[in-house]
A and B are shown apart, each in its own frame.
Chain A
């Protein structure tokens, strides 16, 4: 529980952050809210040579509606998302998810961009991003969410690349996120998110594989007029969920179906 030594610098802007990352080399890491990174440092599972602190990058703390899109800055804290009237109006499912992240201290500190860059399989926002076809904007390019998350803790980001913004489609319609967990402040054992769009239902699953999953089979069954239970029966199709001390893969497959059905019933 004693981190290894590292260099530390503060960045005040995106430009500074990227320059510092570039200068510090490939073993450097960005620290935002630190709610996942600091435990890893303490366990010495992560031993970066240098931490670039982006908490002072105020230009990335915003929620901007633009046409039918909602642009959210990477440094927006979970607690801001919970409270934001813009989020509640244009993408209430994001606020609902944010309210279920960790505990109040974690929500006050952790950031949206940190969740994307960290890419934990149990992260909540990646599910929303994948199911809604969100776009991740970095200091140099735009990446579709489905291409951004590559594997467990692995994203399309280059070593010196910074997540700046996530662009979601607005979706004010019926929605629900059910996060199944043993303790209120835990990560999801499995999560199921549903969102009704003009074009039909979008369905996403958390922690049923190395990255967030869009449950396309459920969506197409719904499109074809299936009942919620019938459609939810397809939620485990093609999943390769992990087995760990919390839950077996079989149980996760089962939960994916149960939670998807419940989310649909509760959203409708």
Chain B
């Protein structure tokens, strides 16, 4: 699709005046008559048996309406929380998970009881008065230790701690290594991260015993899936459950999977016959919202001395936490993407999901792809170092260049131009200039490093052929509905749900452009299961534009097809003789014979219709993408490490990305910038820390969990190349996770190169001053 008036325009975000003036409506902004407040009593132990729960004192507090435990919830909830299959490994153990613990708690923060009271303060006070008697059990904290046969069990009734174990074989790995002239090995840790959305989680529920229906307000990236899961667990027909996700203050993947409170709050509403609201505190958020990453990789790469990459053999030990995250297995895609943008003869990747007594891990911005990219890009840099080659040259020597490119695991990269983004990134970053400055700095004893990351991403989830099996039956296609109202205003419903992505703007641009109506005429609606198509699939995995946008596009094409027939009828012409430009149908050769689409819309509600045509002008469409989409890019980071303190200063950061055609460049730049920030946060700052002996969370507040601010982050130099996707008619790919996938490798490669003169090959994340100082001390000995 060509760049036209609205497509490709830097339209200012329509949602911003509301959001930045404090008029967004988040969960805590919603209330109901007679609202009650819920607080969760949580296990202070990472692992313990529950011997007894004494609720007497809590119940006695005036204003407390109920103290509920598992026994109460069994009356209104059934089944285990969902876990999608994602793949079928040789070995699999999935512990059952009821939303509230009954006999045994398996992570610190697991719900044990809930209190419902007339106000939030009372609920918190009463929660402190619930007395739970525990018998502490050994806690399993380290995933590698948890794999050993002698390890304590995460669940006392489990067979072992292995959630899954499987190996992806992509080619003859032994043959590839047998030809190796150079082999490099590394152990790479992906620390646990807390997603830290600005709006914590929150749930408000109202169950009506008279109409037997449930309304749920919930901060979610995919309200329809929540409706599916909660209606099933509560035994309420899906059609009688309404889930509303209003403005969502960030998610980063942490608001995809259902949480215990998503069940406990509506169940409490049903048990009490009152509306109930729960708002997660920040401490609860760090402790009980899913964590991202949490993996230990061991890898070895083989190459010829001329730099030809041969083979990559790796093991991913994934710290699942106490239960499988609903979409936790998705993180194994780090293995499938570990080959990156390069041609390898063979890759062998074993993934082991290991249970530990910690909060579950689940997709977090990038979800497997940052880890795969980090691993691949680190190994390529290690190889370049070993071979004495410039890291840019080694990359170039091995780039995939013919598209579609089928990787070692049979995934088909739709389009790419890896030389293009690398060339532009090297130019924009002044790579050669930095190489000279680096040499001069090294002469002075300064530690300056330049790091590259040439990345590719699988996103746009996803084709039904690949995704229906992975989710256990529901294909991750997307739905949209577009309606012309008689006045000519357009209501567009889409099954994705923005939580910062600016869909209100981008999708409205797309619909307005396609239908030829003013931007102001389009009302983009999402986040309410009572509106629009039957099912929506949500926003995650950089899918909204390439799947949801395409559903809007195909719905608009259906509308145009019907409008063309009606316009032809009104203009007494053949549909084939009509042209549609700038929102109006004209008869070819007779520009005076003209009907705007809004005139056609009004007419569609009247009586003068062609024979057999029904009233109305609306369409529902589902888009099932034929492939994933494959954005890519090249990032360059320059750092200086303070030799005395170990502090890292980013001297320059450049990102050149390619996500195909772009609807709104300003929003794309914002996404890339935010993604880079979040990935630099992983590289240098953030880490969820558990005490290894006690299993207690150490980084429970924002004082200890170091989310960087604007002050600590560089302003990246950004550019794009445009290689349209052949996968969809819009030629678009995804961009929401790109920066997160790209940046950590660029930063750490730069830090490692800076430290290389001291004999240091590898640095784990976060590359904190203390860690780098210790490495330099050890290297100096």
User: Which residues does A use to contact B, with CB under 8 Å?
Assistant: 1-5, 39, 43-44, 180, 182-187, 245-248, 251, 254-255, 258
B711–A2 contact, CB under 8 A?
no
Apart from A5-B121, A182-B708, what are 19 other A-B pairs with CB-CB below 8 Å? A1-B282, A1-B284, A5-B125, A39-B703, A43-B283, A44-B128, A182-B685, A183-B706, A183-B708, A183-B712, A186-B703, A245-B689, A245-B698, A245-B699, A245-B704, A247-B770, A254-B773, A255-B645, A258-B644
Closest residue of B by beta carbon distance from A248: B770
A44 to B127, CA, bound (A): 12
Question: B770 contacts A251, CB within 8 Å?
Answer: yes
* Interface set of B (CB-CB < 8 Å, partner A): 39, 120-121, 124-125, 128, 281-284, 644-645, 647, 685, 689, 698-699, 701, 703-704, 706, 708-709, 711-712, 768-770, 773-774
Contact (Cβ within 8 A) A2 B712:
no
B770 touches A184 (CB 8 A): no
- CB-based contact A180/B770 at 8 Å: no
Contact of A2 among B120, B685, B689, B708 (CB under 8 A): B120
A97 to B685, CA, bound (A): 25
**Count of A-B contacts judged by CB separation below 8 Å:** 60
Given A245-B689, A246-B770, A251-B773, A184 and B712 touching (CB < 8 A)?
yes
> Is A184's CB under 8 angstroms from B704's CB?
no
What are the residues of chain B within 8 A of A255 when measuring CB–CB? 645
Question: Are A1 and B281 in contact, with the CB atoms below 8 A?
Answer: yes
Given contacts A182-B712, A183-B709, A248-B770, contact A2 B699 (CB under 8 A): no
Cα–Cα distance between A246 and B771 once the two chains are bound (Å): 10
Residues of A within 8 A of B647 (CB): 180
Residue in A185, A246, A258 whose CB lies within 8 Å of B645: A258
- Across-interface contacts of B39 in A (CB, < 8 A): 2
Contacts of B689 in A (CB 8 A): 245
8 contacts between A and B (CB under 8 A): A2-B281, A3-B121, A4-B125, A183-B711, A185-B709, A245-B699, A247-B770, A255-B645
Quote the shortest CB–CB distance from B117 to chain A (angstroms): 11
Could you tell me the distance in whole angstroms from the C-beta of A100 to the nearest C-beta in chain B?
Answer: 12
Given contacts A183-B706, A251-B773, contact A2 B283 (CB under 8 A): no
Check B701 against A184 for contact (C-beta < 8 Å): no
**Option from B120, B709, B768 in Cβ contact (under 8 Å) with A184:** B709
Given that A1-B283, A255-B645 are known contacts, is A182 also in contact with B125, CB under 8 Å in the complex? no
Q: Which 6 A-B pairs have the closest CB atoms?
A: A1-B281, A2-B124, A184-B711, A251-B770, A258-B644, A247-B770
A77 and B553 alpha carbons, distance in the complex (Å):
58
A2 to B39, CA, bound (A): 10
B404 CB to nearest chain A CB (Å): 44
Q: Which A-chain residue is minimally distant from B702 (CB atoms)?
A: A39
Bound state CA distance, A113 and B709, in angstroms?
A: 28
B709 contacts A182, C-beta separation under 8 Å = no
Q: In whole Å, how far is B648's beta carbon from the nearest beta carbon of chain A?
A: 10
Q: A1-B281, A1-B283, A248-B770 known; A43 and B709 CB under 8 Å?
A: no
| Cα distance A254–B559 in the bound complex, in angstroms | 70
Name the distance in Å between B279's Cβ and chain A's nearest Cβ: 9
Tell me how far the C-beta of B133 lies from the nearest C-beta in chain A, rounded to whole angstroms: 21
Select from chain B the residue with minimum beta-carbon distance to A257.
B644
Residues of A within 8 A of B121 (CB): 2-3, 5
Q: How far is the CB of A237 from chain B (nearest CB, A)?
A: 19
Closest to B708 in A: A183
Instruction: Collect the chain B residues with CB atoms within 8 Å of residue A247's CB.
Output: 769-770
Shortest Cβ gap from A42 to chain B (Å): 8
Name the CB-closest residue of B to A2. Answer: B124
| Chain A residues near B708 (CB-CB < 8 A) | 182-183
B128 vs chain A, min Cβ distance (A) = 8
